[in-house]
Amino acid sequence: MELTWYGRTCVRLRGRDAVVVADPYQAIVGPTGRGITGEIVTFSHPDDRPLPKQKGKRSRDGATVLPSSLDDAFVLDGPGEYEVRDVLVTGVRTYRDDAKGAERGKQTAFVVELDAMHTIHLGEIGHLLTEEKLADIGPIDIACVPVGGALSPQKAAELIAQLDPRIVVPLPLDEDSAETRDALARFFHEMGGEPAVQPKLSVTISGLPAETTTVLLESRGKV
């Protein structure tokens, strides 16, 4: 499986059976999607920063406009268990704050099973997980976790400890912000050291590291 980061919470998972694109907001990838294609799209929450005069196909809840390159994709934007093109996707209700959505709203964390590995995309989650939510999520191999948002670096590291993945992919929510860069540095400190930057993550089930390993990706959105 190949994992690519496009900025903020937008990632693409390319597996043998399908390509899954998480959070391809037009504010990140542009109205045309910069050529991002995929069979399945997940939105963790509605678009906060919609482009003016947006046109195009909308997500199921009508709150987000897809980039035109993903018009034909199957779109998921809420909790539930789904099977699309032999890919199992589980949406779990979570929140963008630590007040059950009272401050920043609710969202969905998605677990995607591709190439026999389970990847969780945590969106802009703002809280730790209950035992019930952890049971809904199940075992995780790769965790994409937001950094620089409502979740402090310490809480983000605690969340990773709860999920116990083999690979951690931090998603800086604003690469150009000094505050986010500081949060990322503190997150790396919590995780035990700063990783080298790489263009994308390519991994197989047999190639997963024995210990939890953090991987920092370059943003493809700047290409």
End-to-end Cα spacing for the chain: 21
Maximum Cα–Cα distance across the chain: 48
CA–CA gap between residue 199 and residue 206 (Å, rounded): 21
In the chain (223 residues long), the average pLDDT of successive 10-residue segments reads 97 97 94 92 92 84 91 96 96 97 96 98 98 98 97 97 98 93 96 90 97 94 55
CA–CA gap between residue 66 and residue 46 (Å, rounded): 11
User: Can you give the pLDDT at residue 98?
Assistant: 96
User: Can you give the pLDDT at residue 126?
Assistant: 97
Q: CB burial class (10 A; 0-12, 13-18, 19+) of residue 221?
A: middle
pTM of the model: 0.96
Which amino acid, one-letter code, is at 16?
Answer: R
CA–CA gap between residue 63 and residue 24 (Å, rounded): 13
